[in-house]
């Protein structure tokens, strides 16, 4: 599971700047071991410390104390096994669980499948792409809100939504 990405170096002691996908941002630091992945390259690292400095998340990795070596870590995705993710409350889902679900409107029409989600300032957005047997060939952006998302059934692979197919 990708939780973030190392984007650059910070300072002169080998620390790295991290773009975190977690909420709050510092939750990525709750995982003491990261699997770093970039293209076909994989590294195992341990987090020595980390902090939020202004709006930037900074991490120190064990054994990394050279700025130039730290620079080579830029572009690596930060991954942890899904088994290490915390259990969620009833009705809560990780984004990866929603990807691939069929999206069906109140009239029973298949709008497509969830390709991915992204965060905006107001609410998260579901990107629904057409699939076999979908109503049409349109990509749709739906708000991930209680008003729009009526139900999620992971076992059936479906999300029911209150959304006008013409919108």
Task: Return the half-sphere exposure (C-beta side, CA atoms, 13 A cut-off) of residue 4.
Answer: 26
pLDDT at 85: 87
Fold held by 95-161: SH3 type barrels. (2.30.30)
Statement: residue 97 has pLDDT above 90: yes
pLDDT at 58: 97
Residue extents of the structural domains in the chain = 2-84, 95-161
Fold held by 2-84: Elongation Factor Tu (Ef-tu); domain 3 (2.40.30)
Between β-strands 158-161 and 102-104, what pairing exists: parallel, antiparallel or unpaired? parallel
pLDDT at 54: 84
Q: Using the 8-state DSSP alphabet, how is residue 86 labeled?
A: P
More confident residue, 54 or 126: 126
pLDDT one-digit tens code per residue, 39-64: 999 999 999 999 998 888 999 999 99
Does pTM top 0.85 for this prediction?
no
Asked whether 57 and 17 are in contact (CB, 8 A), the reply is yes
pLDDT at 113: 98
Q: Using the 8-state DSSP alphabet, how is residue 88 labeled?
A: P
């Amino acid at each position: 599971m990708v939780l973030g990405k190392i984007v650059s170096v910070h300072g002169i002691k080998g620390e790295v700047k991290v773009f975190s996908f977690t909420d709050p941002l510092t939750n990525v630091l709750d995982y003491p071991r990261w699997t770093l992945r970039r293209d076909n390259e994989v590294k195992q690292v341990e987090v020595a410390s980390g902090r939020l400095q202004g709006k930037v998340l900074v991490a120190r990795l064990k054994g990394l104390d050279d700025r130039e070596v730290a620079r080579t870590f830029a572009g690596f995705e930060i991954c942890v096994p899904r088994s290490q993710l915390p259990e969620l409350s009833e009705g809560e889902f990780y984004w990866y669980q929603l990807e691939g679900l069929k999206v069906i409107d109140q009239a029973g029409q298949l709008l497509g499948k969830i390709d991915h989600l992204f965060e905006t300032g107001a609410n998260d957005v579901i990107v629904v792409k057409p699939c076999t047997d979908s109503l049409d060939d349109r990509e749709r952006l739906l708000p991930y809100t209680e008003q729009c998302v009526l139900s999620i059934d992971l076992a059936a692979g479906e999300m029911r939504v209150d959304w006008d197919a013409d919108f």
